[in-house]
Amino acid sequence: MTTETEYTPPKVWTWDAENGGKFASINRPIAGPTHDKELPVGKHPLQLYSLATPNGVKVTVMLEELLALGISEAEYDAWLVKIGDGDQFGSGFVDVNPNSKIPALMDRSGSTPQRVFESGAILLYLAEKFGHFIPHDAGARAETLSWLFWQMGSAPYLGGGFGHFYAYAPAKFEYPINRFTMETKRQLDVLDRELATKKFIAGDDYTIADIAIWPWYGQLVLGRLYEAAEFLDVESYKNVMHWAQKIDARPAVQRGRMVNRMSGEPEMQLHERHDATDFDTKTQDKLAPTT
Ligand SMILES: N[C@@H](CCC(=O)N[C@@H](CS)C(=O)NCC(=O)O)C(=O)O
């Protein structure tokens, strides 16, 4: 690790496994599995392999929203993938997502299992499969997909850019923090201007666009990401804040946030979810009481 501000790139980059930072132990420049490990399969048609990061929460919120509508075919098993331990590089996981990132879904309801990876693709797949949270009208559908893809393109600047350099990098460097703070605030302003005249990001209805955007930008303004609320002056994005609070109050969102969560309050952590009753009986406070 170096804290020098100037870096002269060598002619050919080589992998320095000791480059520091929160994810230094799992970051690698090559794809593919590092070890053989089969994935568990539960009783439900939908098998989710994930962790409650913002990308993971998108999918558990979607599934809980579908179940809240009474769609029992959306029942799912949510298995924990500990990315800090390198579970995403196990052979079974790589078969479901060759990109080795959570979330990954296996739909076993048909004659052959269907894998789906990339959180945006999973949301779209589930919305189309069950016919909810995506409008039928072509114009409203285009608007929803525009915001869904906006999120997929924008959030890496927030997470991989701002979050990484502000919260996780081995030292604070002004140049990347400035660059990604500027972009993150611009993105918040984009949302704030849109939400000044709309109930939800694509219009009057709550859609997969909100379900994709909320875990990132909603939770950011609610002060749950990177301890950056004050630094980003999130209170100034009043329309985003109002929208974020409204979505946060939805029971399905509260349940979705708990699934595969490994940090925070024990009563908010449901490490694995295999049944709707698990929320009442299997959170960490019930399994491992602290008193
Ligand atoms: N574009 C992907 C991003 C997924 C992603 O970055 N997942 C992270 C956690 S939020 C991950 O699995 N990281 C493990 C790693 O990079 O090895 C998606 O939206 O599904």
Q: What CATH code is carried by the domain that includes residue 174?
A: 1.20.1050.10
**Is 147 part of any domain?**
yes
Amino acid 152: pLDDT: 98
**Is 45 part of any domain?**
no
- 197 C-beta neighbours (distance < 10 Å), count: 8
**Is 78 part of any domain?**
no
Q: Which residue among 53, 101, 148, 219 is best mutated to probe the pocket of ligand 1, counting the most ligand atoms within 8 A of its Cβ?
A: 101
**Is 103 part of any domain?**
no
- Residue 103, preceding peptide bond in cis (omega within 30° of 0): yes
Amino acid 291: pLDDT: 47
**Is 269 part of any domain?**
no
Residue nearest to ligand 1 atom 12, measured at CA: 101
Residue nearest to ligand 1 atom 14, measured at CA: 101
Question: CA-CA distance, 134 to 207, in Å (whole number)?
Answer: 6
Question: CA-CA distance, 111 to 66, in Å (whole number)?
Answer: 23
Residue nearest to ligand 1 atom 6, measured at CA: 101
- Residue 59 Cα to ligand 1 midpoint, Å, equals 13
**Is 102 part of any domain?**
no
- Residue 116 Cα to ligand 1 midpoint, Å, equals 14
Indicate the SS3 state at residue 180. Answer: helix
Amino acid 289: pLDDT: 60
Q: Which residue among 27, 28, 55 is best mutated to probe the pocket of ligand 1, counting the most ligand atoms within 8 A of its Cβ?
A: 55
**Is 192 part of any domain?**
yes
Amino acid 18: pLDDT: 66
Amino acid 93: pLDDT: 98
Q: Which residues line ligand 1 (CB under 6 A)?
A: 26, 53, 55, 83, 88, 100-103, 118-119
In the chain, which stretches have pLDDT less than 50? 1-2, 291
Amino acid 1: pLDDT: 45
- Residue 197 Cα to ligand 1 midpoint, Å, equals 32
Structural domain boundaries enclosing 239: 138-251
Q: Identify the CA nearest to 45 among candidates 116, 97, 98.
A: 116
- Residue 102 Cα to ligand 1 midpoint, Å, equals 5
E strand or H helix that includes residue 219: helix 219-221
Structural domains of the chain, count = 1
**Is 165 part of any domain?**
yes
- Residue 10, preceding peptide bond in cis (omega within 30° of 0): no
